[in-house]
Structure 1
Amino acid sequence: MSLPPLDEFVRRAHDWLSSECPRAAADRGLNDVAVFHSLPHDRERALISGAGEWQRRKMDAGYGAIAWAPKFGGAGLTPAHARAFTAAEAQYATPADHELRRITVNLVAPTVRDWGTEQQRERFVRPFLRCEEFVCQLYSEPGAGSDLAGLATRAAADGSDWVINGAKIWVSGAQFADWGFLLARTDPDQPKHRGITAFLLPMNVEGIEVRPIRQMTGGASFNEVFLTDVRLADEFRLGAPGEGWRVATSMLAFERSQSGSRAGVGASAEQLLQLARRSTRIDPAVRDQVVRAYVHERTRMLTRQRADERSLHSTAPGPEGSMGKLLWVQGLQAIGDAAAAVLGPRIVADDGGPGTYAWSEHLLGAPGFRIAGGSDEIQRNILAERVLGLPAEPGPARSLPWRDQRRI
Structure 2
Amino acid sequence: MSVDSARRAPSLEEFRAEAESFVESAAPRADGEHRFDFSEDEDRVTLFRGATEAEAKRACDWQRTVFDAGFGWITGPPEYGGSGLPARYERAYQEVERRYSVPSRSPLGVSLGMVLPTLQHYGTEAAKQRWLRALRRADVVGCQLFSEPGAGSDLASVSTKADRDPATGDWVVTGQKVWTSGAHYSDLGLLLARTSDGERHRNLTAFLVDMHAPGVEVRPLRQMTGGADFNEVFLDGVHVPDENRLGEVDGGWQVALATLMYERGAIGGSTAGGSGLFRLERIIAWLKDMGRTEDPAVRQAFARVHIGLTAAKAMRARAEAAVKAGTTPGPEMSLSKLALTANLAALSDLVATALGPRLLADTGERSTFSWAEFVLGVPGMRLGGGTDEIQRDIIAHRVLGLPKEPGAHSKNRT
**In which range does the TM-score fall when normalised by the shorter chain?**
0.7 to 0.9
Query: Which residue does the alignment assign to 1:171?
Result: 180
Alpha-carbon offset, residue 133 of structure 1: 1.2
Deviations for 1:290-315, whole angstroms, at most 9, x for unmatched residues? 33223222222232233334445444
Query: Which residue does the alignment assign to 2:79?
Result: 71
1:230 is paired with a residue of what secondary structure? Answer: strand
- Which range is displaced more, 117-126 or 358-367? 358-367
Choose the corresponding residue for 2:284, options 273, 278, 282: 273
- Which range is displaced more, 178-187 or 237-246? 237-246
Tell me how far apart the structure 2 counterparts of residues 171 and 34 of structure 1 sit (CA, whole Å).
Answer: 19
- Which range is displaced more, 111-120 or 260-269? 260-269
Taking structure 1 as reference, are residues 310 and 236 closer, same or farther at Cα in structure 2, changes over 3 Å only?
closer
Q: Indicate conservation of the 8 Å contact 1:267/1:362, yes or no.
A: no
Query: Which residue does the alignment assign to 1:364?
Result: 376
Give unpaired runs (5+ residues) of structure 1.
399-404
Tell me how far apart the structure 1 counterparts of residues 243 and 50 of structure 2 sit (CA, whole Å).
Answer: 37
Alpha-carbon offset, residue 31 of structure 1: 4.6
Equivalent runs, 1:211-230 vs 2, <5 Å: 211-230=219-238
Deviations for 1:238-294, whole angstroms, at most 9, x for unmatched residues? 222111111122222222233443455755444433332222357533442233223
Query: Which residue does the alignment assign to 1:116?
Result: 123
The residue type equivalent to 1:188 in the other structure is: D
Query: Which residue does the alignment assign to 2:55?
Result: 47
Tell me how far apart the structure 1 counterparts of residues 110 and 302 of structure 2 sit (CA, whole Å).
Answer: 31
Alpha-carbon offset, residue 396 of structure 1: 3.2
Tell me how far apart the structure 2 counterparts of residues 156 and 360 of structure 1 sit (CA, whole Å).
Answer: 48
Choose the corresponding residue for 1:162, options 149, 155, 171: 171
Query: Which residue does the alignment assign to 2:409?
Result: 395
Tell me how far apart the structure 1 counterparts of residues 330 and 243 of structure 2 sit (CA, whole Å).
Answer: 30
Equivalent runs, 1:103-142 vs 2, <5 Å: 103-142=110-149
Tell me how far apart the structure 1 counterparts of residues 333 and 49 of structure 2 sit (CA, whole Å).
Answer: 25
Taking structure 1 as reference, are residues 18 and 138 closer, same or farther at Cα in structure 2, changes over 3 Å only?
same
Tell me how far apart the structure 2 counterparts of residues 201 and 35 of structure 1 sit (CA, whole Å).
Answer: 28
- Which range is displaced more, 231-240 or 129-138? 231-240
Query: Which residue does the alignment assign to 1:328?
Result: 340
Tell me how far apart the structure 2 counterparts of residues 185 and 38 of structure 1 sit (CA, whole Å).
Answer: 30
Alpha-carbon offset, residue 210 of structure 1: 2.1
Equivalent residues, number: 393
Alpha-carbon offset, residue 237 of structure 1: 2.3
Tell me how far apart the structure 2 counterparts of residues 250 and 224 of structure 1 sit (CA, whole Å).
Answer: 23
The residue type equivalent to 2:291 in the other structure is: T
1:292 is paired with a residue of what secondary structure? Answer: helix
Choose the corresponding residue for 1:187, options 187, 196, 200: 196
Taking structure 1 as reference, are residues 249 and 385 closer, same or farther at Cα in structure 2, changes over 3 Å only?
same
Q: Indicate conservation of the 8 Å contact 1:139/1:148, yes or no.
A: yes
1:156 is paired with a residue of what secondary structure? Answer: strand
Query: Which residue does the alignment assign to 1:34?
Result: 46
The residue type equivalent to 2:329 in the other structure is: P
Taking structure 1 as reference, are residues 379 and 354 closer, same or farther at Cα in structure 2, changes over 3 Å only?
same
Equivalent runs, 1:193-212 vs 2, <5 Å: 193-212=201-220
Tell me how far apart the structure 1 counterparts of residues 260 and 223 of structure 2 sit (CA, whole Å).
Answer: 24
Taking structure 1 as reference, are residues 147 and 29 closer, same or farther at Cα in structure 2, changes over 3 Å only?
farther
Equivalent runs, 1:223-372 vs 2, <5 Å: 223-262=231-270, 263-264=274-275, 266=277, 268-280=279-291, 283-372=295-384
Give unpaired runs (5+ residues) of structure 2.
1-6, 40-44
TM-score with structure 2 setting the length: 0.86
Tell me how far apart the structure 1 counterparts of residues 238 and 316 of structure 2 sit (CA, whole Å).
Answer: 41
The residue type equivalent to 2:70 in the other structure is: G
Taking structure 1 as reference, are residues 69 and 312 closer, same or farther at Cα in structure 2, changes over 3 Å only?
closer
The residue type equivalent to 1:151 in the other structure is: V
Alpha-carbon offset, residue 389 of structure 1: 1.5
Deviations for 1:54-74, whole angstroms, at most 9, x for unmatched residues? 111111111110011111111
Alpha-carbon offset, residue 324 of structure 1: 1.5
Tell me how far apart the structure 2 counterparts of residues 384 and 29 of structure 1 sit (CA, whole Å).
Answer: 40
2:310 is paired with a residue of what secondary structure? Answer: helix
Query: Which residue does the alignment assign to 2:4?
Result: none
Quick one: higher RCO (CA 8 Å, sep 6+), 1 or 2? 1
Taking structure 1 as reference, are residues 207 and 383 closer, same or farther at Cα in structure 2, changes over 3 Å only?
same
